[in-house]
Amino acid sequence: MHDTVMVPKKFSTFSLRTANSRITALSALIILLLVFTAIAAPVIAPHDPVAVDLANKLKAPSLNYPFGTDHLGRCIFSRVIYGTRESLKVSLIVVSISASIGILLGLVSGYFGGLTDELIMRAVDIMLAFPSIILALAIITALGPGLNNVILALTLVHWTSYARLVRGEVLRIKEKEFVESARAMGNSQLRIMFRYILPNVMAPVMVVSTLDVAHVILSASGLSFLGLGAQPPTPEWGAMVNDGREFIRTAPHLTIFPGLAIMITSLAFNWLGDWLRDALDPRLREGRIE
């Protein structure tokens, strides 16, 4: 009867965490590799990613073209490598901007409460009332397709989750004695918000933003797949999958390789986020016996 009640959480996850460490190491390695690929793309890529060579179109993977060529004879390997740049660029920009906006609004909303809180949270509610991808679709339709508009649309959709998360955490932290003590010491509001509260809400934000990177990569690829994101000839994974759609029976390598790239990247960020969640949760830290 007491099994679930009594075994302290910090112990029950103890052995689990060591088993997870291999996956974590793998995902960290993948992400490092992705970043390196994005930076060194011109050096690694054997061909120009946009160079059309109709004589060599739809070639199966070979030594010269490791992932084969597409319907315009472009090297898919080189395009996947350059695509890393696009995906990472979009996701990092979207996540960092939406996190900053969300954190700031959440902090203000949770700390001051009252009317400010009502206004900000009702705005969040309105944003959340739309299915996010449909909202993004609507925005892009209004502004026209293109990667920059994808970034704008996804940012407008994504900040809400940060605002909510941060607000909730702020409400919790605000009641802690150390915040009260900071007030009693005579710290200014701004100082309390940024020096006492903000550092203590960052852990869950880190987790969510890591998971969010995966989410944004998928959304951006999805939008590009629909022709709303990256425009040809930009090498973007989602757009490449779309290009290969017609040839999926005859030349599946056109879709498989960019598809794999999307999958591996988002998996790696998801794993890393899961690990961060465990690692940053102070309740899961091993150590003391009560």
Which residues of this protein are in contact with other proteins, per CB under 8 A? 1-3, 5-8, 11-12, 14-15, 176-178, 180-187, 195-196, 199-200, 282, 286-290
Closer by beta carbon to other proteins, 16 or else 39: 16
CB of 120 to other proteins, least distance (A): 19
Q: How far is the CB of 211 from other proteins (least distance, A)?
A: 22
Helices (H), the chain: 3-6, 9-12, 14-39, 41-44, 76-112, 114-129, 132-143, 147-174, 177-185, 189-191, 198-225, 237-244, 253-280
Kindly tell me which of 196 and 257 has the beta carbon lying closer to other proteins.
196
Phi, psi of 202 (to 5 degrees): -70, -30
**How is residue 24 written in tokens?**
């974590």
Nearest to 57 by CA among 73, 44, 76, 46: 73
Nearer to other proteins, 20 or 200 (CB): 200
Minimum CB separation of residue 180 from other proteins in Å reads 6
Phi, psi angles (nearest 5°) of residue 62: -150, 180
Cα 204 from Cα 102, distance rounded (Å): 13
Task: Determine the distance from the C-alpha atom of residue 121 to the mean position of all C-alpha atoms in its chain, rounded to a whole number.
Answer: 23
Nearer to other proteins, 207 or 214 (CB): 207
Choice between 22 and 175, CB closer to other proteins: 175
Query: What minimum distance in Å lies between the beta carbon of 159 and other proteins?
Result: 24
- Provide, rounded to whole angstroms, the least separation between the CB of residue 285 and other proteins: 8
Of 3 and 144, which CB lies nearer to other proteins in the complex structure?
Answer: 3
**Nearest distance from C-beta of residue 277 to other proteins, angstroms:** 18
Burial class (CB in 10 A: 0-12, 13-18, 19+), 42: exposed
Q: What is the full DSSP assignment across 142-170?
A: HH-SSHHHHHHHHHHHHHHHHHHHHHHHH
Give me the least distance between CB of 286 and other proteins, in Å please. Answer: 6
Residues with Cβ within 8 Å of 115's Cβ and at least 6 positions away in sequence, in order, are: none
Return the number of the residue (64 or 181) whose C-beta is nearest other proteins: 181
Integer Cα distance of 232 and 47 in angstroms: 17
